[in-house]
Amino acid sequence: MGISPPKGQERLEWFLLTNEPADSFEAAYQVVEWYECRWVIEEYHKCLKTGCNIESPQFERQHSLQPAIAVISVTALTLLNLRDASRKPDAKTRPAKELVSEDYIAVLSAWRHGKVKEDWSVYDFCYALARLGGHQNRKSDRHPGWIVLWRGWQELQAMMRGADVVNEIKKCG
């Protein structure tokens, strides 16, 4: 990025207000780097509110609400990592098992293809999860958003519980 603005444009000057000391170039640059992380945090909170609907539990006491927030926060982080990884150039070659349990891959791929596909990529997993949540996966569709990923995740949890029950029945003979 150059110091001079494009031709015909006025130079833009911006200020970042902070409570951190920025009395040197290095300190100021550190504050700017922290500020750049804000977008990931914003997306995380959007996932919590829009996708995971974190404001919907109607607990009246803090001790009841805290475990729900903890579980939803872990799920939101998983979905954030999955969504972001599915948009990267290596998404179709990066193994999904780097981000999610092989059990999730087995159940979701069996639902999608009628057989387990252990070699699924991050892209395959994310788009199958989105499809489970109502995403159409048409060429003209945008990347899956928080709501369809959350719906897919909820459906996948129900499928995982069903798989657990089937496995228990098989153990009992």
List the pLDDT tens digit at each of the 173 positions of the chain: 457 888 888 887 777 788 888 889 898 888 888 888 788 888 888 877 877 777 777 777 888 888 888 888 888 889 989 999 999 999 999 999 999 999 999 999 999 999 999 999 999 999 999 999 998 888 888 888 888 999 999 999 999 999 989 888 888 86
* Cα–Cα distance, 144 to 31 (Å, whole number): 32
The two three-digit tokens of residue 133, written as one number: 């949540």
On the 0-12 / 13-18 / 19+ scale of CB atoms within 10 A, 130 is buried
What are φ and ψ of residue 92, in 5° steps? -85, -10
Domains, the chain: 35-172 (1.10.740.10)
On the 0-12 / 13-18 / 19+ scale of CB atoms within 10 A, 64 is exposed
pLDDT of residue 136: 86
* Cα–Cα distance, 149 to 131 (Å, whole number): 8
* Cα–Cα distance, 60 to 69 (Å, whole number): 13
Within 10 angstroms of residue 79's Cβ, the number of other Cβ atoms is: 23
* Cα–Cα distance, 76 to 82 (Å, whole number): 10
